[in-house]
Amino acid sequence: NNNFTYKATAVAGDQKSGASEPTFPTVAGNTVVDDQVTWTAVAPEYEYSLASGEHTFFSKVNKKRVVMPNYVTIRTDPNADGTQYIGVAEDTDFSNLLHKRYMDYAVITSQEEADYLARAVLQNFKRFSSPGGGVVPMHPAQEVHDWVKITDARQDDIRLGSVGQIRRRWKAGSWKMEIGFGASQVNPYWTYALLAPPASLLAPLSPRVRAQVEAEEELFRGIR
């Protein structure tokens, strides 16, 4: 859907989704049950538009950026005892054009967990390769990592992206701010926490990965 992202907010049984894609809601907060997974529509944290009463914008920029890395492998350390698990996720839109791999080790207890980790890491790379940006009036509440939507009703165009950079400019009589979607220095495992995995999947993660997630969450709480 052009207007929302969707977050897994509840699971049951073996936590699998249906064989076919459900009809996703188009109202923030509404949910859809996808076999044993419940998805909730999450609205952007800020929306810029030309509508009266909304945060306006001066201009927008559209870009098409290659997702890199676009082939992710998360696996058990080959030297570890026990069953070896390998999770793989690939963005075929870009990997066929420019193949860039990412690989990491984690303490994994099931194939499901391996697949989930790989998808979460790839999703983070895709999230921070979002296209475009915009120039808007000065907005002190805007923060890096916010999920933002720019709606241009004149061109029937919507830009969605995670804010990777902010540049505030001021001169006499002019206060504006440039926001760029995309690249930002973020640990990819932070996305794993954002996707709200079942506790049974989060618990077995290695202390190193858990510490990274907790550090990012603590930083985020501090800046908010």
- Pairwise pLDDT comparison (129 vs 193), residue with the higher score: 129
pLDDT for residue 193 is more than 50: no
Q: Which residues contact 57 (CB under 8 A, 6 or more apart)?
A: 48, 49, 50, 134, 135, 136, 137, 150, 152
Q: How many domains does the chain have?
A: 1
Residue 29 in any domain: the answer is yes
| Structural domain contains residue 70 | no
Residue 50 has pLDDT above 80, yes or no: yes
Contacts of 12 (CB under 8 A, 6+ apart): 36
Phi, psi of 113 (to 5 degrees): -65, -40
Is pLDDT larger for residue 69 or for residue 161? 69
Establish if 127 belongs to a structural domain. Answer: no
Determine, yes or no, domain membership for 202: no
- The answer to the question of residue 19 being in a domain is yes
Residue 6 lies in a domain: yes
Any domain includes 155: no
Scored b (16 or more CB within 10 A) or e, 100-132 reads: eebeebbbbbeebbbbbbbbbbbbbbbbbbbeb
Per-residue model confidence as pLDDT tens digits over 82-130: 899 999 998 887 777 788 889 999 888 888 888 888 888 887 787 666 5
Domain of residue 37 covers 1-43
| Continuous H helices in 89-175 | 92-95, 111-127
Report the mean per-residue pLDDT for the chain. 76
Classify residue 22: in a domain, yes or no.
Answer: yes
Q: Which two tokens stand for residue 36?
A: 């044993």
pTM: 0.50
